[in-house]
Amino acid sequence: MRTFLILLSSVLIVSGCSGPSAGRDDSVPDDRVERVSLSDTETFDAARYVDEPAVLEEVVHDVPEALMTSTAARDVRTVRRVQGFRIQIHSSLERKSALEVEENVVAWWRGMPVDSRPIDYRPVELPVEMRFVTPYYRVRIGAFESRAEAEAFLGFLNDRYAGAFPVLDTITVIR
C-alpha cells in the first residue's frame, strides 16, 4: 500500500508541473496586451550627438629643457659616492691641533700660485676634512678615485707633509 501511495503522489506532482498552461497566465486575452514599437529606438541620428571641438591650451610645466629635448645625458652631471682614496696628513689626540693643521693646509693651498699646482687641481679647491675616529682627530686632503692618483699627488706633498700617506675612504665623484 505504501508503494501505491508513493507512485500516485509522484504521478500527480509530475502531471501538475507539465502541460500547455504551465507558466502562462491565460486570464489576459492577447488583444489587451500592448505592443511596443521599436522603430523610435532602432534608428540612430549621429548629428544629434556632435561634440564641440576641444580647445587646446598651452601646457606649462616645470620639466627642465634638457629633459624635454633629450639632451639630458650630455648636460646633467651625476654625483655619486664611491670607494676611493684621500691623503692623511695629520693625526692627533687633540682637536685644537687638528683644526690648526686644517686651517694651515687651506691657507697654503689658497696662497699657492695656480701654475704651481698639479695640473688636475689647478682650477679647483682642494678638499680638506677633519674627522674624529676614536681616539684620534685626522686631517685628510684630496679625493682620488684610484691609489695611483693619490700617490701621484702625494709626490707633490712630500716637501710639506713628509709623513703623509694614502688611505682608503669614501669620496664624492661628480661627472
CATH superfamily of 77-174: Sporulation related repeat (3.30.70.1070)
pLDDT at 103: 94
3-state secondary structure string, the chain?
A: CHHHHHHHHHHHHHHHHCCCCCCCCCCCCHHHCCCCCCHHHHCCCHHHHCCCCCCCCCCCCCCCHHHHCCCHHHHCCCEEEEEEEEEEEEEECCHHHHHHHHHHHHHHHHHCCHHHCCHHHCCCCCCEEEEEECCEEEEEEEEECCHHHHHHHHHHHCCCCCCCEEEEEEEEEEC
pLDDT at 96: 95
Query: What pTM was computed for the model?
Result: 0.55
User: Mean pLDDT, consecutive 10-residue segments, the chain of 175 residues?
Assistant: 70 63 56 65 72 80 76 66 92 94 91 81 81 93 90 87 91 79
Give domain limits for the chain.
77-174
pLDDT at 72: 58
What does the alpha-carbon distance between residue 161 and residue 164 come to, in Å, rounded to a whole number? Answer: 6
